């Protein structure tokens, strides 16, 4: 028991030191190194709360678990240290000057509103088409358990358009949030209604990450506009409170739906924190690789990753990694972090070298994306790229599985920048050195 407490304390120490080190390196909450460090800490958060109470490691000797955990912490510390040396003076300047409010012209507001409404309407039409245009059925099915709605079934069966509207909903939330914070008049009123509707759709979809992303974007945008520390902290607390409530709601009811008999018989609702068990599964992957010496086929893994973006409607026999490929490392429907995947592909010894390099590669994507802070909707797009990096760290399959949202977001923000700056329809209050737009 004493050794368990010591290891849990070591993890807490790692998180505290990592955040302090990152803040000293970055000096800004929007700096990619600080955001990257927060991601790493999130992966460890479930263990910080639950300790060793997880079935994935129930039958592994404690001494072995401690060794695997120390190796994992070494890899993560190496990645954060390597990331701290990635530096570009122009990018560093953009981050430090990106806290001003934007002055958005009516032309810019209309274009952003059009983008958001297009995505939202497309997703609503998808639902209506799936139930023969019955609004009652759309509402009823939206409150059913995740994956059981008609449009979900169609997407799972290969309807790429139906899947794409769900993927792009967070971009609509980003655009609406931008207008809620910086818009005026009718566009802002429409955006308030839009972001509430998108949040409702995201909550019923059942995936927590897009909901948290939307609330983070809203919270940071409003925080940026506040002039005092007290108001800034108030915005953070409000966003965290709403996020905790909605995420707990989803965790409690997404498996059963919101109108099922189980819910009717059990109306008790509790605020709870729940992170997926990927860290425990990563530990198990180290154990399985250590005890069996087995490895995945790296060529098959990365070739499948490469062809993932091709819709199955175009290529029905597209390769897929099933339970037989993953062998005993994990189930096909769960994640074991990039750590577990790399040890399954290359073994424990090589993972100590390859895993930090993989992490730093993902970090460079986030670091280079800082330039989008200078574009319309820049902050939201930046967080979408951050979400992409987080998802890649969660599973390298997401390198291509999750590519559509950041790709469309980057293209949309680039298009808006060209259109608006060409037409002098977008401007910002400049700082002493330059102007940057959230």
Whether residue 74 sits in one domain with residue 34: yes
Whether residue 257 sits in one domain with residue 141: yes
Query: 122 with 237: CB under 8 angstroms?
Result: no
- pLDDT at residue 426, as a whole number: 41
Final residue of a structural domain among 346, 364, 382: 364
Whether residue 290 sits in one domain with residue 246: no
- pLDDT at residue 430, as a whole number: 37
- pLDDT at residue 268, as a whole number: 59
Whether residue 219 sits in one domain with residue 209: yes
Q: What pTM value is reported for the model? A: 0.88
10-residue averages of pLDDT along the chain (438 residues): 88 97 93 96 93 92 96 97 94 75 73 93 93 88 81 81 89 90 88 93 85 86 77 80 80 71 54 77 96 95 92 83 91 93 96 97 96 86 94 95 93 83 43 40
- pLDDT at residue 433, as a whole number: 39
Whether residue 263 sits in one domain with residue 120: yes
Whether residue 255 sits in one domain with residue 113: yes
Sign of CA dihedral 250, 251, 254, 257: negative
Whether residue 209 sits in one domain with residue 124: yes
Whether residue 300 sits in one domain with residue 230: no
Q: How far apart are CA 322 and CA 283, in angstroms?
A: 21
Q: How far apart are CA 419 and CA 411, in angstroms?
A: 12
- pLDDT at residue 248, as a whole number: 77
Query: 179 with 112: CB under 8 angstroms?
Result: yes
The count of domains in the chain is 2
- pLDDT at residue 322, as a whole number: 87
- pLDDT at residue 312, as a whole number: 78
Give residue 253's domain range: 102-273
Q: How far is CA 304 from CA 204, 309, 359, 390, in A?
A: 30, 10, 20, 20
The string of DSSP codes covering 354-391 is HHHHHHHHHHHHHHHGGGGGGSTTHHHHHHHHHHHHHH
Whether residue 84 sits in one domain with residue 23: yes
Whether residue 219 sits in one domain with residue 188: yes
Residue 292: name the closest of 60, 7, 47, 76 by CA: 60
DSSP 8-class letter at 57 = G
- Residue 305 token pair: 């990753």
The string of DSSP codes covering 64-131 is HHHHHHHHHHHHHHHHHHHHHT---HHHHHHHHT--SPEEE-HHHHHHHHHHHHHHHHHHHHHHHHHT
């Amino acid at each position: 028991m004493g050794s368990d407490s010591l290891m849990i304390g070591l993890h807490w120490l790692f998180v505290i030191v990592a955040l302090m080190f990152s803040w000293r390196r970055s000096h800004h909450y929007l700096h990619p190194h600080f955001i990257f460090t927060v991601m790493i800490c999130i992966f460890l958060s479930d263990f910080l709360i639950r300790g060793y109470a997880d079935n994935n490691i129930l039958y592994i000797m404690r001494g072995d678990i401690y060794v695997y955990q120390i190796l994992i912490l070494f890899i993560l510390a190496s990645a954060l240290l390597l990331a701290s040396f990635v530096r570009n003076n122009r990018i560093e300047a953009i981050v430090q000057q990106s806290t001003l409010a934007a002055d958005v012209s009516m032309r810019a507001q209309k274009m952003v509103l059009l983008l958001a409404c297009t995505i939202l309407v497309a997703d609503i039409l998808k639902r209506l088409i799936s139930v023969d245009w019955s609004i009652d059925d759309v509402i009823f099915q939206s409150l059913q358990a995740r994956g059981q709605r008609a449009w979900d079934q169609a997407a799972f069966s290969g309807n790429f358009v139906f899947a794409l509207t769900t993927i792009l909903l967070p971009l609509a939330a980003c655009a609406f949030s931008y207008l809620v914070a910086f818009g005026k008049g009718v566009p802002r009123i429409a955006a308030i209604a839009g972001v509430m509707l998108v949040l409702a759709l995201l909550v019923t979809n059942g995936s927590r990450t897009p909901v948290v992303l939307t609330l983070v974007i809203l919270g940071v945008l409003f925080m940026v506009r506040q002039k005092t520390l007290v108001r800034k902290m108030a915005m953070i607390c409000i966003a965290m409170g709403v996020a905790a409530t909605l995420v707990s709601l989803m965790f409690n009811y997404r498996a059963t739906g919101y109108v099922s008999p189980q819910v009717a018989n059990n109306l008790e609702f509790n605020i709870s924190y729940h992170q997926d068990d990927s860290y425990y599964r990563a530990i198990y992957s180290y154990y399985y690789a250590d005890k069996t010496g087995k490895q995945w086929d790296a060529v098959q893994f990365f070739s499948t990753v490469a062809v993932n973006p091709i819709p199955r409607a175009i290529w029905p026999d597209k390769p897929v990694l099933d339970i037989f490929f993953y062998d005993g490392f994990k189930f096909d429907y769960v994640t074991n972090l990039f750590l577990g995947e790399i040890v399954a592909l290359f073994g424990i010894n090589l993972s100590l070298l390859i895993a930090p390099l993989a992490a730093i590669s993902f970090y460079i994507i986030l670091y280079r994306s800082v330039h989008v802070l200078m574009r319309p909707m820049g902050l939201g797009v930046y967080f979408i790229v951050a979400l992409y990096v987080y998802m890649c760290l969660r599973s390298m399959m997401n390198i291509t599985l999750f590519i559509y949202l950041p790709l469309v977001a980057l293209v949309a923000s680039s298009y808006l920048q060209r259109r608006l700056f060409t037409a002098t329809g977008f401007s910002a209050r400049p700082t002493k050195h330059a102007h940057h737009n959230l």
